[in-house]
Amino acid sequence: MAPASSLPAELAERWGILSAEVIADTRSSLVHRVLRRDGTYAITKRLKPSGLHELPGIDLLDWQQGQGMVRLLDRTETACLLEDAGKLTLKEHRLVHGEDVANDVIVALLGRMQSASLLSPPTTLVPLRQHFRALFDRVERADRPDLSDVLTVCATIAENLLSSQADIRPLHGDLHHENIVSGGSRGWLAIDPQGVVGDPAYDVANIFGNPEGAFPEIIDRRRILRLASLFAPVIGCSKEKVLRYAIAHSGLSICWSLEDGDRISRQGNAMERLAFAKAAIPLLSERVLSS
């Protein structure tokens, strides 16, 4: 680890930091693993100007109070001190132990995350309809005729879902295998929430398109149906609803990737999500979801 001077002096002093190591430097944030004067490790996250949309996620961590998610230890303006949840990602764990073991972790974590809090949810959480804005805007612009058919279907599904949301509650909003980590004393925890509020069926939507590098499985109809069957009873809804949210999210993810400059390349996220949508949409017209 580098000296604490790699962090702003006021933060190093406030949080008693002796040394720090950069673990992520993205367009939206700078993240360090730090050693504190009391001998414990923690994580600091400092949002960049392009990362201020992550502030609702920090508010969610404050509200969640460690239930299935990493604990927020302190915050000041656009910087926060977080519990160090460990270095092992569920993506890495899945490579060693397999899909079924990874799915068991997700199901157990969902149960912990959904534990009711006695506190009123933050008013800063992003409504799910607003969260889907990039998809609706792209379809309205109609500037990608090569994607028009798929994105229109995804947007139509999203509109129907958003118009009939049930059991609206705070959501992580970006749950996937690299945002679930372990290695600390509290086991598997979710990190980096978006801070969304809406139908809980959305919180498993991103699992269908993950983990990165598992493309053949992501488009496998057997896995798609298995995930829908696994998550439906946990959420308390139909398998079809879970799958519809997964499809809607795939369209949203394509649009986000386009905004980030993805040209539907062979190895890009947009290509994978497009392939997933094409594999999943036909399942809605089959009877496989009612069995």
The residues carrying an active-site annotation are: 174
Q: How far apart are CA 270 and CA 255, in angstroms?
A: 8
Q: How far apart are CA 282 and CA 221, in angstroms?
A: 10
Tokens for 92, please give them: 């890495």
Quick check: 173 and 136 in contact, CB under 8 A? Answer: no
Q: Name residue 12's amino acid.
A: A
Beta strands in the chain (DSSP E): 2-3, 17-25, 29-36, 41-47, 72-76, 79-83, 88-89, 126-127, 169-171, 180-182, 189-190, 196-198
Tokens for 8, please give them: 């702003």
Pairing of strands 72-76, 79-83: antiparallel
Q: How far apart are CA 97 and CA 227, in angstroms?
A: 17
* Helix, strand, coil tally for the chain in percent (to 5): 50, 20, 30
